[in-house]
Amino acid sequence: MQKLGSGEGWNLILLNCPQPHNHPQTMSAQSLHGITLESLLTRLVDHYGWEGLGRRIDINCFQKDPSIKSSLKFLRRTPWAREQVEQLYLDTRFTN
């Protein structure tokens, strides 16, 4: 454990934890840096299709007349749904 700094009533401590890059099969939220929501969603749709995506994440924008545009609008306004999509992206083992 290494103390990095302190300020008004708080301390920042770095614990010796394994870093995500040590595990190539595991992606972390840091892996999403630089990936747009549109490209993330497009890749999921290409991989699972709208029907498969709608089975994995139970939200109407994936099940009823789905489109990238309407899904993006919903996901940008609905943090819990966006988190589920991001987590599915992180958990998916893409073949290409």
* Segment among 15-19, 24-28, 30-34 with least mean pLDDT: 15-19
What 52-58 contacts at long range (C-beta under 8 Å, 24+ apart), as own/partner pairs, is 53/88, 56/88, 57/81, 57/84, 57/85, 57/88
On average, the pLDDT of the chain sits at 79
Complete domains list, the chain, with CATH: 24-91 (1.10.720.30)
Task: Assess contact for 82 and 75: CB atoms under 8 A.
Answer: yes
Model's pTM, two decimal places? 0.68
**32 vs 9, more confident:** 32
Q: Report percent pLDDT > 70 for the chain.
A: 69
Q: Tell me the mean pLDDT in the region 49-71.
A: 96
Residues 89 and 43 sit within 8 Å (Cβ to Cβ): yes
